[in-house]
Structure 1
Amino acid sequence: MILGFDTSGPWLGTALYSDGDIRASHYVNMAKGQAEHLMPLIERTLADADASLADLTAIGVGIGPGNFTGIRISVSAARGLSLALGVPAIGVSGLEALAFDAPQPTLTVLAAPRDQLYVQRHGDGVAKGPALIARDDLPLWTVPGITLIGQDSPVLEEEFGIPHAPAAYAPAAAIARIAATRIGTEQPRPTPLYLKPADAAPSRETGPRLL
């Protein structure tokens, strides 16, 4: 069984994948409070499938791009569970998750602050990204026959004339399915995918001297 979860945006998603299908899943719109609700929702998802943490063989986790705090919550939880359970943790980007089982070429998109977008282009011979771009530069990422998938894609289709389609799966479900395809291959430890600098300015105060 593979547990997938994601808190990289204003949501909290979990999914349990086994034997080629999703056994249980939950998706909650949640801009704040993910740290407090992640483990209870994981436990609820497992209970729905009459499973426990001991049944897990791998963990798939969303690594962003997206909200700094949200990404850290999921990645930290995945690393902790991986260590405690002795199972691999596999990081999957949200842009990859959107493209899973989608027609290609595909342009996946996630909302970013300050009228920007996180984008990635998928397809043989046209793959590009991931990157952070200005919203108005989205047409520069198109190629003939491309489909737009992701946040606000209907609005973006109306604005730029790029055909859109819904994602095949909710984020956590796609992450769990992708993780299943990577089991048995060497995978780096999940690391946050940050495509923009932190909003907070570095402190001007000198920290305490370490002895």
Structure 2
Amino acid sequence: MAPLPRTILGIDSSTGACSVALRRGPDLLAVRREDMTRGQSERLAPMTEAVMRDAGIGFDDLDAVAVSRGPGSFTGLRIGLAFAKGLGQALGIPVLGVSGFDAVARAARAAAKDAGSVLAILLESRRADLFLQVFTPDGVQAGAPAALPADAIAEHLTASAAAVPVLLAGDAAGKVAPLLGDACVRSPATVPDADHVSALGLALLEAGTESPAVPLYLRAPDVTRPVAS
């Protein structure tokens, strides 16, 4: 007898949007999305309740929670991770961390006409540096993620793409695309979405792969130390 499909809740509040999605196996049951740069702490619980209500299932039916672990806004990340961990602890179910790079990459590959190109995910940091993760045409991460200025990213991608235009995705792709010109193609995928977070979390759950819900920080927080008196 085949095992019943797992039910997982996906959460993302790491960037300029907030989303919650509910998935059972390959089927997306419900999703809610809102654009916001602040206010996630007030909206996550009502959005989650709405998604569960839309799908007509209870919280006891959940097998796991998947949450975006960044990179992104420090405040947004902390809110999403804390909410997911609190929900997982209350329900006694695992909480899986999913890279925002992986979530956008999944969306970009799904929308791409040509899957044989290098994929560069560029996420907004709201600073001079942009968050970068490069993937090979077969979906493997090419090196570690980094925070780099746009011109340094363009130079790096020019060397990586060779004769094939690089596919750019993410909400900061527009800052690098003009520097690459015809050497790149823009993807409609922008920010991590709970739909893809839930799908990636489900794959981790079914494979029995541990993926702690810990933040992925690529730069230090903007904190000013108090001046000693």
Q: 1:130 aligns with which of 137, 142, 145?
A: 145
Corresponding position: 1:191 with 2:210: no
Tell me how far 1:203 sits from its aligned partner. Answer: 3.4
Which aligned segments of 4 or more residues in structure 1 are displaced greater than 3 angstroms?
A: 203-206
Q: Do the aligned partners of 1:100 and 1:168 also contact (CA within 8 Å) in 2?
A: no
Q: Do the aligned partners of 2:171 and 2:190 also contact (CA within 8 Å) in 1?
A: no
Corresponding position: 1:157 with 2:157: no
Distance 1:150 1:168 in 2: 4
* TM-score, scaled to structure 1: 0.89
Where does residue 195 of structure 2 map in the other structure?
173
Tell me how far 1:168 sits from its aligned partner. Answer: 9.3
Q: Do the aligned partners of 1:105 and 1:126 also contact (CA within 8 Å) in 2?
A: no
One-letter code of the match for 1:113?
R
Where does residue 118 of structure 2 map in the other structure?
105
Structure 1 or 2: more helix by fraction: 2
Distance 1:152 1:196 in 2: 16
Where does residue 115 of structure 1 map in the other structure?
128
Distance 2:10 2:119 in 1: 23
* TM-score, scaled to structure 2: 0.82
Tell me how far 1:170 sits from its aligned partner. Answer: 5.7
Tell me how far 1:202 sits from its aligned partner. Answer: 2.8
Task: Give me the identity figure in percent.
Answer: 31
Name structure 2 gaps, 5 residues minimum: 1-6, 110-114
Instruction: Tell me: CA distance 1:152–1:132, structure 2 relative to 1, closer, same or farther (3 Å).
Output: closer
Name structure 1 gaps, 5 residues minimum: 207-211
Matches within 5 A, 1:36-75: 36-75=42-81
- Secondary structure, aligned partner of 1:100: helix
Cα displacement string for residues 62-113 of structure 1 (whole angstroms, at most 9, x for unaligned residues): 1111111110001111111111111111101111111116135211110113
One-letter code of the match for 2:40?
Q
Q: How many residues align?
A: 206
Q: 2:154 aligns with which of 111, 119, 139?
A: 139
Higher mean displacement: 161-170 or 69-78: 161-170
- Aligned-residue CA RMSD in angstroms? 2.2
